[in-house]
């Protein structure tokens, strides 16, 4: 267990290619897999590895995220000592300067008793044992260890993600971007392990010089001053940085092997508990190869789809290869294919919505006061 480790999560992920789902929420709080949020994975991974002190740097439009996390109770982070901390955020900009935020909250770092820090974003969805990565870091005696995954699908997946140039001794030589030219790449999972004293030193250096505004850029541009090592992760990984990758990651949940690995391999992925009745299936319903959360009513046909909480699907409706988020109503004889329907949406009778598996159609979230 990582009793000597704390973590800081910086939620400044790029949202350019997923704007349809982040109009009213940060990327970290996008619903996922029927009952989860994207941030549930990294927090659960840390807690399952023994990390009990987690700081969160979030964006300004974070009401849904704060509502979901609450006091951190679902992850056993509602503690008198350590627990979950949410840092001040900018009220005027979505461009997070996490260096500035940490400088204004240095007391948090100095008061934390842990020796090591795990820095991470939230949009890398996986189930990882940080204990093994931390053990690798300490044995290597590197200043910074960056976790990565080897992929063979670089032309189609992980586009715009950081990719690493690594030598035979697992030392990182440089960091670039995946622009879709090569199939085989070392993709950075944007998870850094380092001593707290190194982190504090670099925060002060960044403030003094003004060269960098984010921890990620500061670390990625200091290979000459620090010894960087790379730890390879071999499990399932998706980066949720576009509508297409979000859709594919959800569809992966219908694969039993992927589902079991992601949600159970190194401990359960936990989320905010919602006590609701099971979903009701009528005699007219027909559900195949789908994930269906609780609290709903299914009267129509559902195939190869993800159905969230409190969804009502009327008679004769057909849902295929689609994601229907919570509180949606799909009325009688509606047909929905390759579509992401965000929260609180009502699809009227006999409507047809058709997207493409590579370019899924997105129906944006409806504010609850606008719902008809």
CA distance 310 to 313: 10
Q: Judge whether 270 lies within some domain.
A: no
255, 285: one domain: no
Q: Judge whether 179 lies within some domain.
A: yes
Q: Judge whether 274 lies within some domain.
A: no
Q: What CATH number is attached to the domain comprising 336?
A: 2.160.10.10
For residue 308, give Cα distances in angstroms to 272, 365, 372: 14, 14, 20
211, 112: one domain: yes
CA distance 214 to 241: 18
Per DSSP bridges, beta strands 172-177 and 162-166 are antiparallel
284, 260: one domain: no
Strand residue runs (E) in 126-246: 144-151, 162-166, 172-177, 185-195, 228-232, 238-239
165, 299: one domain: no
27, 147: one domain: yes
Determine how many CB atoms are found less than 10 A away from the CB of residue 108.
Answer: 15
Number of domains in the chain: 2
Provide the residue range defining the domain that includes 237: 5-264
Asked whether residue 346 carries a pLDDT value surpassing 60, the answer given is yes
CA distance 360 to 368: 24
pLDDT-derived band at 262 (thresholds 50, 70, 90) equals: very high
pLDDT-derived band at 370 (thresholds 50, 70, 90) equals: low
Domain end marker among 210, 235, 264:
264
Q: Judge whether 82 lies within some domain.
A: yes
138, 19: one domain: yes
Q: Judge whether 269 lies within some domain.
A: no
Phi and psi, residue 192, nearest 5°: -110, 140
Domain end marker among 204, 229, 264:
264
Q: What CATH number is attached to the domain comprising 202?
A: 3.90.550.10
Per residue in 276-305, pLDDT (tens digit) is: 899 999 999 999 999 999 999 999 999 999
Q: What is the pLDDT of residue 369?
A: 56
Q: Judge whether 271 lies within some domain.
A: no
Q: List the alpha helices (DSSP H) in the chain.
A: 19-22, 39-48, 63-69, 98-103, 106-111, 130-140, 196-209, 215-220, 243-252, 256-264
156, 18: one domain: yes
Tell me the DSSP string of 88-106: ---SS-SS--HHHHHHTTH
Per residue in 146-196, pLDDT (tens digit) is: 999 999 999 999 999 999 999 988 889 889 999 999 999 999 999 999 999
Per residue in 53-82, pLDDT (tens digit) is: 999 998 767 888 999 999 999 999 999 889
Domain end marker among 237, 264, 291:
264
Arithmetic mean of pLDDT, 307-317:
97
CA distance 77 to 289: 35
On whether the CB atoms of residues 223 and 171 are closer than 8 A, the answer is no
252, 293: one domain: no
On whether the CB atoms of residues 187 and 162 are closer than 8 A, the answer is yes
163, 252: one domain: yes
On whether the CB atoms of residues 4 and 116 are closer than 8 A, the answer is yes
* Mean pLDDT value across the chain: 92
Q: What is the pLDDT of residue 92?
A: 46
223, 113: one domain: yes
Q: Judge whether 27 lies within some domain.
A: yes
Q: Judge whether 320 lies within some domain.
A: yes
Asked whether residue 93 carries a pLDDT value surpassing 60, the answer given is no
Asked whether residue 318 carries a pLDDT value surpassing 90, the answer given is yes
297, 243: one domain: no
* pLDDT over 90 percentage in the chain: 76
224, 165: one domain: yes
């Amino acid at each position: 267990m990582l009793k000597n480790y704390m973590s800081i999560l910086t939620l400044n992920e790029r949202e350019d290619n997923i704007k349809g789902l982040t109009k009213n929420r940060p990327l970290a709080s996008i619903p996922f897999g029927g009952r989860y949020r994207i941030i549930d994975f990294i927090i659960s991974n840390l807690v399952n590895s023994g990390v009990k002190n987690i700081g969160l740097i979030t964006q300004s439009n974070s009401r849904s995220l704060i509502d979901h996390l609450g006091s951190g109770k679902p992850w056993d982070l509602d503690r008198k000592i350590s627990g979950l901390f949410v840092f001040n955020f900018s009220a005027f900009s979505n461009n997070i300067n996490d260096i500035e935020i940490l400088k204004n909250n240095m007391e948090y770092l100095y008061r934390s008793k842990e020796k090591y820090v795990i820095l991470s974003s939230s949009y890398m969805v996986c189930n990882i044992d940080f204990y093994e990565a931390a053990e690798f870091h300490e044995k290597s005696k590197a200043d910074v260890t960056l976790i990565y995954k080897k992929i063979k699908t670089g032309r189609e997946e992980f586009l715009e993600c950081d990719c690493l140039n690594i030598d035979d001794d697992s030392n990182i030589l440089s960091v670039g971007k995946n622009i879709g030219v090569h199939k085989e790449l070392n993709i950075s999972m944007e998870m850094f392990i380092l001593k707290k004293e190194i982190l504090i030193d670099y925060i002060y250096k960044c403030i003094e010089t003004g060269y960098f505004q984010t921890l990620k850029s500061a670390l990625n541009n200091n290979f000459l001053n620090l010894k960087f090592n790379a730890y390879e992760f071999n499990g399932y990984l998706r980066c949720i940085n576009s509508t297409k990758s979000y859709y594919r990651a959800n569809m992966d949940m219908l694969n039993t092997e992927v589902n079991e690995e992601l949600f159970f391999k190194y401990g359960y992925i936990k989320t905010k508990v919602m006590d609701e009745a099971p979903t009701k299936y009528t005699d007219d319903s027909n559900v195949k190869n789908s994930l269906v959360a609780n609290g709903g009513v299914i009267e129509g046909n559902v195939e190869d789809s993800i159905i969230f909480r409190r969804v009502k699907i009327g008679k004769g409706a057909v849902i295929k290869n689609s994601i229907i988020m919570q509180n949606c109503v799909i009325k009688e004889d509606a047909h929905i294919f390759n579509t992401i329907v965000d929260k609180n949406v009502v699809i009227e009778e006999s409507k047809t919505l058709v997207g493409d598996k590579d370019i899924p159609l997105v129906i944006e979230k409806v504010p609850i006061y606008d719902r008809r």
